[in-house]
Amino acid sequence: MYPIVKKEKLADRIYLMDVKAPRVASSCLPGQFVIVKIDEEGERIPLTICDYDRENGLITIVFQTVGASTERMAKELEEGDAFEDFVGPLGQPSELCLEKNLEETKKKNIVFIAGGVGTAPVYPQVKWLEEHGVKTTVIMGSRTKDLLFFVDKMEAVASDLHVTTDDGSFGFHGMGTNQLQALVDEGRTFDHCVAIGPMIMMKFVCKLTEQLQIPTVVSMNPIMVDGTGMCGACRLIVGDEVKFACVDGPEFDGHKVDFDLAMARQAQYKTEEGRAKLALEEGDTHHGGCGHCGGDE
Partner 1 sequence: MGDPMVRVPISEQEPLVRAKNFEEVCLGYTEEEAVEEASRCLNCKNPRCVGGCPVSINIPAFIEQVKERNFEKAYEIISESSALPAVCGRVCPQESQCEGVCIRGIKGEAVAIGKLERFVADWAREHGIKPKTNAPKNGHKVAVIGSGPSGLTCAGDLAKLGYDVTIFEALHKTGGVLVYGIPEFRLPKDKVVAAEVENVKSLGVKIETNVVVGKSVTIDQLMEDEGFEAVFIGSGAGLPRFMGIPGEQSNGVFSANEFLTRNNLMKAFMNHDTPISRGKKVVVVGGGNVAMDAARTALRLGAEVHVVYRRSEAELPARAEEVHHAKEEGIIFDLLQNPVEILADENGWVKGIKIIKMELGEPDESGRRRPVEIEGSEYEIECDTVIMSLGTSPNPLIASTTEGLETNRRGCIVAKEEDGETSKTAVYAGGDAVTGAATVILAMGAGKQAAKGIDEYFKSRA
Q: Report the site for partner 1 in 237-256 (rule: CB under 8 A).
A: 237, 242, 244, 247
Rounded-to-integer distance, Cα 243 and Cα 250, Å: 10
Q: Of 168, 173, 17, 163, which Cα lies nearest the Cα of 81?
A: 17
Q: Of 180, 172, 185, 116, which Cα lies nearest the Cα of 146?
A: 116
**Is there a contact between 89 and 27 (Cβ–Cβ < 8 Å)?**
yes
2 DSSP β-pair partners:
83
**Which part of the chain contacts partner 1 (CB under 8 A), choosing from 23-31, 115-123, 141-149, 175-183?**
23-31
For partner 1, which is the closer residue by CB, 215 or 291? Answer: 291
For partner 1, which is the closer residue by CB, 166 or 226? Answer: 226
Q: Report the site for partner 1 in 266-285 (rule: CB under 8 A).
A: 267-269
Neighbours of 139 (CB within 10 A): 29
Of 79, 229, 253, 281, the one binding partner 1 by CB under 8 A? 229
Q: Report the site for partner 1 in 29-48 (rule: CB under 8 A).
A: 37, 40-44
Of 17, 24, 58, 183, the one binding partner 1 by CB under 8 A? 24
Rounded-to-integer distance, Cα 103 and Cα 121, Å: 23
Q: How many residues bind partner 1 (CB under 8 A)?
A: 41
Q: From the CB of 130, what's the least distance to partner 1, in Å?
A: 26
Rounded-to-integer distance, Cα 93 and Cα 194, Å: 13
Interface with partner 1, residue 68, by CB under 8 A: yes
Q: From the CB of 279, what's the least distance to partner 1, in Å?
A: 16
